[in-house]
């Protein structure tokens, strides 16, 4: 030391991962050109033994470092190796001296070593998230459950590891104790405290025996591979993991269990073939419209919010079925199709076209109302193609039970539901064949389209709509489509 | 936890363990809401490892192991004499929540024997997932096994609550399915996969939450006469057609009370390992199914060398590869170099010329890579022409099965 041309200096940092202290020191050392070899880094709060110590709380202007370097520093300071600060100082010094891309040169011996340190820290974090075990410790604040855990990390990772647990377990109080410090969550904030003791954590938990049973049962003795287990779950973790107590027994018994399985001759089944259950199993499909409707009624809406499913309405065997888009506000509240403004318009148009609404079947491609709440109003939202596809199974079954000779698609969504294709109504309007379907088809606009038109354009559009409905009535009366219903 | 529940857990975990899938990955990052429980990290976490080296990430159980089906390879087939049990929906929910709170698991992987009907069974599975999500605000991972024989609307409802859905193909050919799983129908399985693949894609486009971690499947290896090549080609087709996230290969394992039409022997673990490696070559190393097929010997992957090395030995004219110049795709073909090592090489060589020592710091597979690469200070002396190269690089025979 004495022969060294430059004065040696010692820098004292807080115990653990003192990123702030290190940053403060580096902001002085690097611009001053102090060679890393002349600096000794010491961690701990003990009174200084070194007269030439530099206070680490004094800070200079920030150094501009590439993001990759800053990331590497933030990880490596958590490593327990006492050399970590010195190594990082060397890295930063070289970067500042012009090797701006140094952190990307993983083949460089210094960078390689720092990468290994970062990897060890990352692995330690991952293992803490994975292998820490909570035990129930009674009731915490405001009647919440309280849990505690003891863990021994290899590196100074507690502060970095803890937010994972508060994101995951916000609704009960917990404490994680380690030999270096502790973390506590009270439902609102994360707090760090002094080192804990293993004895402060309850000795057992009511679910540990069941968990160990699960662990033992999920092991397949025919695949025993201890090296693979130890590579991922080194023995040093075992004493804090209750399930590992089962390992010696599982390993001891594995050979015998496999041998028995292989040697044992197949046994004849004791039970008889459950012929009736097998026959009943095949009959799971809803066998009537009522049964199908029960399924639909019991199902959740694909997009949450609807009051209820709106089922189709009309007699089985109806000659014409009308398929709309989805229930609107009124339909959703009343639970019946086509009862809102568009429904009323449809009823009028049907009368004019000479179709008895009560003898037709009316339904929607999508069975639940989807809306956007704007104040007190619920604004209709068009179902997406994916949503229509989800609902099409029910529409298909429903129409199969009703057995109409003609299906009128009201609007593009109905066409999509019936054909699986997006087709503009202006192109598809008029008589249509729905591929593979036993009924004839006709495409027209949805009555709500007429409601949205400006007043001047509405009479003509309405007349066209009634004309389409008349055509539907004529089609269903044609002999080719069978006798009129 | 009372004894009756513990006993059920033992039976229904034992009954579920032949499903190789354990992943808790692929779900978008989520945090618990106030008063809720659970999060997902994206990458998944293995909370323990059993002495078979496999990870314990999810509580993997069956709702029941009573089953009306009679699939020969399955420990739960109706003609098997194993002990039977059935959980209630609430029991599964309690176990999941309590295990989760103690940080034992990432979530639930729930499957079931077929009881009453496929629809009834599927409804029960959905009820568990729905209860966890809605009553407990559970944001952890849920993997539901889909019953392909269930009604299509039920299959699709599962995606509203689950992160991952899976339908097991189990056997790669129709003929094997017919022989070994009489109630199953290969066409129905593929239709359901196709349906699910479409819905998942559509939901992603429409930014709706629907099985965000995608779908996976499992194929049993060694229960029928399928070759590795046919398995790999089947996999390539499934990845391609149905957008599967993962295919699990499960070496057929002896089971208690085995059926007489199946081999009773140690599982072909090394073969399973090679199939996973071949699968990875297709997914991460830009190998085509034809490339993998080209590395097989009458349709089977070699057991003593990995498929990438086997391919390289067959294509020696493509080597050696210069680490300082070769494009990424060709570096990925070098035996011993993994994706990460290749990415590090590509990043590092922009700023430095790499010598053999440098490469040694970037990969742990230098011994295998050496004959196939050129570095600034190194060129192999016609190593690629040596007849004994394979023998020099082959792994010593290793007892993978017992201890």
Q: Is residue A46 part of a domain?
A: yes
From B208, B217, B163, select the one nearest B42 (Cα to Cα). B163
Whether residue A359 sits in one domain with residue A436: yes
Confidence band (pLDDT; 50, 70, 90) for B265? confident
Residues of chain A with pLDDT > 70, as a percent, come to 94
Q: Which residues of B, range 353-372, sit inside 8 Å of A by Cβ? A: 354, 358-359, 361-362
Q: Is residue B150 part of a domain?
A: yes
Whether residue A111 sits in one domain with residue A160: no
The residue among A70, A95, A127 that closes a domain is A127
Whether residue B343 sits in one domain with residue B211: no
Calculate mean pLDDT across residues B309-330: 94
Strand partners, A409: A323, A443
Contact B99 A300 (CB under 8 A): no
User: What digits encode the pLDDT tens for the residues A363-403?
Assistant: 999 999 999 999 889 999 999 999 999 999 999 999 999 99
Number of structural domains found in chain A: 4
Whether residue A423 sits in one domain with residue A376: yes
Q: Which residues of A, range 158-197, sit inside 8 Å of B by Cβ? A: 164-165, 167-172
CA A281, A283, A285, A286: dihedral to nearest 10 degrees?
Answer: -120
Whether residue A363 sits in one domain with residue A236: no
Whether residue B208 sits in one domain with residue B103: yes
Could you tell me which residues come within 8 angstroms of residue A272 by beta carbon, excluding any fewer than 6 positions away?
none
User: What digits encode the pLDDT tens for the residues A190-204?
Assistant: 999 999 999 999 999
The residue among A75, A100, A127 that closes a domain is A127
Q: Is residue B133 part of a domain?
A: yes
The least confident of A128-132, A466-470, B16-20, B341-345 is: B16-20
CATH number for the domain that contains residue A316: 3.40.470.10
Contact A223 B205 (CB under 8 A): no
Q: Between the CA of residue B283 and those of B286, B330, B369, what are the distances in Å? A: 7, 15, 21
Q: Which residues of B, range 42-101, sit inside 8 Å of A by Cβ? A: 45-56, 59-61, 68, 78-81, 95, 98-99, 101
Q: Is residue B176 part of a domain?
A: yes
Calculate mean pLDDT across residues A136-150: 92
Number of structural domains found in chain B: 2
Mutate: best of A149, A161, A223, partner B, most B CBs <10 A: A223
Whether residue A83 sits in one domain with residue A182: no
User: What digits encode the pLDDT tens for the residues A101-127?
Assistant: 999 999 999 999 999 999 999 999 999
What is the pLDDT at residue B261?
78
C-alpha–C-alpha distance, residues B270 and B248, integer Å: 14
Is A218 exposed, middle or buried, given 0-12, 13-18 or 19+ CB atoms closer than 10 A? buried
User: What digits encode the pLDDT tens for the residues B131-151?
Assistant: 999 999 999 999 999 999 999
Calculate mean pLDDT across residues B210-217: 95
* CB atoms near residue B42 (< 10 Å): 12
Q: Is residue A273 part of a domain?
A: no
Q: Supply the range of the domain harboring residue B350.
A: 315-393
Q: Supply the range of the domain harboring residue A64.
A: 9-127
From B153, B134, B157, select the one nearest B144 (Cα to Cα). B157
The residue among B176, B194, B220 that closes a domain is B220
- A228 and B CB contact within 8 Å: yes
- B10 and A CB contact within 8 Å: yes
Q: Is residue B303 part of a domain?
A: no
- B341 and A CB contact within 8 Å: no
- Chain A residues with beta carbon closer than 8 angstroms to that of B354: 107
Whether residue A150 sits in one domain with residue A120: no
- B387 and A CB contact within 8 Å: no
C-alpha–C-alpha distance, residues A357 and A350, integer Å: 7
Nearest to B254 among A129, A209, A222 (CB): A222
Contact B48 A233 (CB under 8 A): yes
Confidence band (pLDDT; 50, 70, 90) for B257? confident
Whether residue A196 sits in one domain with residue A101: no
Q: Which 3 state secondary structure label does DSSP give A208?
A: helix
Whether residue A380 sits in one domain with residue A428: yes
Is B82 exposed, middle or buried, given 0-12, 13-18 or 19+ CB atoms closer than 10 A? middle
Q: Is residue A276 part of a domain?
A: no
CB A243 within 8 A of CB A212: yes
Q: Which 3 state secondary structure label does DSSP give A169?
A: coil
The residue among B165, B186, B220 that closes a domain is B220
What is the pLDDT at residue A123?
97
What is the pLDDT at residue A281?
85
Q: Is residue A269 part of a domain?
A: no
CATH number for the domain that contains residue B136: 3.20.20
Strand partners, B250: B220
Q: Which residues of B, range 217-276, sit inside 8 Å of A by Cβ? A: 251, 253-260, 264-267, 269
Q: Is residue A3 part of a domain?
A: no
Q: Is residue A280 part of a domain?
A: no
- Chain A residues with beta carbon closer than 8 angstroms to that of B272: none
Q: Between the CA of residue A256 and those of A136, A222, B62, B134, B186, what are the distances in Å? A: 37, 10, 26, 45, 37
From B227, B235, B156, B186, select the one nearest B71 (Cα to Cα). B186
Q: What is the mean pLDDT of chain B?
A: 92
Strands (E), A265-349: 320-324
CB B75 within 8 A of CB B18: yes
Q: Is residue B110 part of a domain?
A: yes
Whether residue A186 sits in one domain with residue A218: no
Whether residue A433 sits in one domain with residue A318: yes
Whether residue A237 sits in one domain with residue A121: no
Q: Is residue B370 part of a domain?
A: yes
Asked whether residue B254 carries a pLDDT value surpassing 50, the answer given is yes
Give me the interface pTM, i.e. the ipTM: 0.93
Whether residue A31 sits in one domain with residue A94: yes
Q: Is residue B216 part of a domain?
A: yes
The residue among A94, A127, A160 that closes a domain is A127
The residue among B220, B241, B274 that closes a domain is B220
What is the pLDDT at residue B326?
96
Q: Is residue A277 part of a domain?
A: no
What is the pLDDT at residue A275?
86
* CB atoms near residue B387 (< 10 Å): 6
Contact B1 A266 (CB under 8 A): no
Strand partners, A374: A377
Q: Which residues of A, range 390-449, sit inside 8 Å of B by Cβ? A: 390, 393-394
Whether residue B203 sits in one domain with residue B332: no
Q: Is residue B153 part of a domain?
A: yes
Strands (E), A367-468: 371-374, 377-380, 406-410, 430-433, 440-444
Contact A389 B10 (CB under 8 A): no
C-alpha–C-alpha distance, residues A255 and B353, integer Å: 52
Residue matched to tokens 């929607």:
A364
What is the pLDDT at residue B401?
41
CA angle A287, A290, A294 (to 5 degrees): 100
Q: Between the CA of residue A208 and those of A134, A149, A327, what are the distances in Å? A: 10, 13, 51
């Amino acid at each position: 030391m004495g022969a060294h041309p430059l004065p040696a200096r010692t820098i004292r940092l807080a115990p653990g991962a003192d990123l702030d202290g290190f940053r403060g020191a580096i902001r002085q050392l690097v611009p001053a050109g102090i060679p890393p070899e002349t600096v000794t880094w010491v961690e701990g709060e003990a009174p200084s033994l070194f007269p030439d110590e530099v206070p680490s709380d004094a800070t200079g202007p920030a150094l501009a470092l590439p993001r990759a370097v800053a990331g590497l520093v933030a990880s490596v300071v958590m490593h327990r190796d006492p050399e970590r600060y010195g190594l990082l100082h060397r890295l930063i010094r070289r970067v500042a001296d012009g090797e701006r891309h140094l952190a990307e040169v993983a083949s460089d011996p210094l960078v390689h070593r720092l990468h290994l340190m970062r990897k060890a820290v990352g692995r330690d974090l991952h293992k803490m998230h994975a292998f820490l075990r909570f035990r129930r410790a009674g009731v915490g604040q405001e009647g919440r459950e309280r849990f505690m855990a003891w863990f021994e990390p290899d590196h100074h990772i507690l502060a970095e590891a803890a937010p994972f647990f508060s994101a995951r377990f916000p609704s009960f109080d917990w404490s994680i104790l380690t030999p270096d410090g502790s973390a506590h969550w009270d439902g609102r904030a994360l707090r760090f405290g002094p080192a804990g003791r293993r004895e402060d954590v309850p000795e057992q938990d009511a679910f540990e025996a069941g968990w160990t049973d699960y662990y033992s049962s999920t092991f397949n003795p025919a695949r025993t591979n201890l090296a693979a287990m130890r590579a991922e779950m080194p023995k040093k973790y075992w004493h804090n993991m209750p399930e590992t107590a089962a390992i010696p027994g599982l390993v001891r018994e594995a050979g015998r269990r496999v041998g028995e399985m292989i040697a044992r001759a197949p046994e004849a089944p004791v039970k008889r073939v459950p012929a009736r259950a097998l026959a009943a199993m095949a009959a799971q499909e809803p066998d009537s419209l009522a049964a199908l409707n029960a399924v639909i009624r019991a199902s959740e809406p694909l997009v949450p919010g609807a009051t209820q499913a709106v089922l189709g309405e009309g007699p089985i065997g109806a000659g014409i079925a009308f398929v709309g888009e989805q229930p609107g506000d009124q339909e959703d509240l009343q639970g019946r199709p086509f009862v809102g403004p568009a429904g009323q318009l449809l009823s009028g148009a049907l009368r004019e076209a000479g179709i008895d609404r009560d003898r037709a079947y009316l339904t929607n491609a999508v069975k639940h109302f989807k809306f956007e709440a704007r104040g007190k109003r619920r604004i209709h939202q068009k179902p997406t193609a994916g949503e229509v596809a989800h609902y099409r199974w029910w529409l298909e079954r429903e129409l199969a039970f009703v057995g109409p000779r003609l299906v009128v698609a009201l609007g593009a969504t109905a066409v999509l539901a019936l054909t699986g294709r997006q087709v503009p109504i202006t192109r598809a309007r008029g008589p249509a064949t729905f591929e593979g379907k036993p009924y004839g088809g006709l495409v027209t606009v949805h009555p709500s389209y007429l409601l949205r038109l400006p007043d001047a354009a509405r009479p003509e559009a309405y007349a066209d709509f009634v004309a389409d409905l008349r055509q539907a009535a004529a089609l269903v009366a044609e002999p080719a489509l069978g006798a009129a219903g | 936890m009372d004894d009756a529940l513990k006993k059920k857990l033992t039976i229904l975990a034992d009954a579920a363990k032949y499903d190789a899938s354990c992943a808790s990955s692929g779900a978008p990052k989520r945090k618990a809401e106030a008063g809720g429980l659970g999060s997902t990290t994206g990458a998944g976490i293995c909370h323990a490892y059993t002495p078979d080296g496999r990870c314990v990430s999810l509580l993997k159980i069956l709702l029941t192991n009573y089953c009306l089906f009679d699939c020969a390879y399955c420990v739960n087939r109706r003609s098997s004499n194993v002990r039977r049990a059935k959980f209630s929906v609430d029991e599964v929910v309690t176990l999941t929540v309590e295990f989760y709170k103690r940080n034992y698991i990432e979530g639930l992987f729930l499957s079931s024997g077929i009881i009453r009907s496929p629809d009834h069974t599927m409804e029960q599975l959905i009820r568990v997932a729905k209860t966890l999500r809605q009553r407990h605000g559970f944001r952890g991972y849920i993997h539901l096994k889909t019953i392909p024989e269930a009604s299509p609307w039920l299959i699709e409802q599962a995606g509203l609550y689950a992160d991952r859905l899976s339908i097991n193909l189990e056997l790669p050919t129709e003929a094997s399915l017919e022989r070994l799983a009489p109630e199953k129908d290969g066409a129905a399985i593929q239709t359901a996969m196709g349906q699910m693949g479409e819905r998942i894609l559509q939901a992603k486009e429409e930014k709706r939450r629907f099985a965000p971690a995608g779908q996976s499947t499992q194929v049993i290896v060694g229960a029928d006469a399928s070759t590795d090549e046919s398995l790999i080609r089947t996999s390539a087709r499934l990845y391609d057609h149905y957008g599967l996230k993962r295919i699990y290969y499960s070496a057929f394992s002896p089971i208690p009370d085995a059926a007489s039409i199946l081999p009773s022997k140690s599982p072909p673990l090394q073969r399973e390992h090679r199939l996973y490696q071949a699968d990875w070559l297709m997914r991460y190393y830009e190998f085509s199914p034809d490339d993998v097929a080209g590395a097989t010997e009458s349709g089977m992957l070699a057991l003593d060398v990995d498929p990438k090395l086997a391919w390289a030995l067959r294509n020696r004219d493509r080597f050696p590869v210069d680490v300082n110049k070769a494009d990424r795709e060709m570096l990925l073909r070098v035996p011993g170099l993994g994706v990460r090592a290749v990415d590090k090489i590509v990043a590092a060589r922009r700023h430095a010329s790499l010598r053999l020592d440098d490469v040694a710091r970037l990969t742990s597979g230098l011994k295998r890579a050496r004959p196939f690469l050129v570095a600034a200070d190194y060129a192999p002396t016609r190593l690629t022409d040596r007849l004994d190269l394979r023998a020099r690089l082959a792994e010593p025979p290793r007892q993978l099965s017992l201890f």
